[in-house]
């Protein structure tokens, strides 16, 4: 009984540690612990966390499986491995477009690039819809996977979704003529969150985590 209790305790601790170290939760913690500022207060060169609403900066992306319009999509395909008796990721596709993060003080352009993103973290894996997955696999030269037992998960960042972003701020000329201040010599500047390798942009839809 004692050994069983110890084993259960060790397993529980291992699960808790895995969750603590998982990519999504690391992103959430980094964003939550960073200094938080309003869009209008984002200083050039400052690393800060902003919260607001994601607004598409151009035509939306189309999610590869659901065909839903979005700003970012992540498609993960897993196959069941009989030898290890576990699900293994065999295909992972991600794509994102620039978007605006808007709060009550203004909007900042979030540029694409080196993103670390946590969206729809609790989205479950579901049995693969063969009719929609087969042409998708064929386009990616993965038709051989269609004979395997598969499951898929699609995670999206949608226009109008609440979001928090951690990154380095910058100021750049605003291309919108209506934003120019009075005076022909003046140039309007807009806030930008620009990705880099250190730091990248951390993006999460767990704004209250």
pLDDT along the chain (209 residues), means of 10: 35 36 82 94 93 95 93 93 88 93 96 92 86 79 79 95 95 74 66 84 85
- What's residue 22's pLDDT? 55
- What's residue 11's pLDDT? 35
- Report d(CA 172, CA 188) in Å as an integer: 8
DSSP 8-state assignment for residue 31: H
- What's residue 182's pLDDT? 52
- What's residue 100's pLDDT? 97
- What's residue 5's pLDDT? 33
- What's residue 6's pLDDT? 33
User: Helix %, strand %, coil % for the chain, to 5?
Assistant: 25, 40, 35
- What's residue 12's pLDDT? 36
CA nearest neighbour of 110 among 12, 4, 201, 6: 201
- What's residue 1's pLDDT? 43
- What's residue 47's pLDDT? 92
Here the tokens at position 21 are 């170290």
């Amino acid at each position: 009984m004692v050994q069983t209790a110890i084993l259960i305790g060790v397993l529980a601790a291992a699960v808790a540690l895995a969750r603590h170290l998982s990519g999504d939760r690391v992103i959430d913690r980094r964003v939550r612990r960073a200094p938080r500022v309003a869009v209008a207060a984002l200083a050039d060169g400052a690393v800060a966390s902003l919260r607001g609403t994601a607004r598409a900066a151009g035509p939306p992306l189309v999610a590869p499986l659901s065909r839903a319009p979005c700003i970012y999509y992540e498609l993960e395909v897993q196959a069941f491995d009989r030898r290890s008796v576990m699900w293994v990721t065999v295909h992972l596709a991600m794509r994102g477009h620039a978007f605006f993060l808007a709060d009550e003080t203004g909007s900042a352009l979030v540029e694409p690039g080196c993103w670390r993103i946590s969206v729809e973290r609790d989205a479950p894996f579901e049995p693969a819809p063969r009719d929609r997955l087969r042409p998708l696999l064929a386009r990616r030269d993965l038709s051989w996977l269609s004979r395997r037992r598969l499951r898929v998960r699609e995670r999206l960042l949608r226009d109008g979704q609440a979001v928090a972003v951690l990154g380095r701020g910058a100021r750049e000329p605003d291309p919108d003529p209506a934003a120019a201040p009075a005076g022909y010599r003046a140039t309007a500047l807009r806030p930008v969150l620009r990705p880099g390798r250190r730091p990248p942009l951390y993006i999460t839809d767990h704004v209250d985590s």
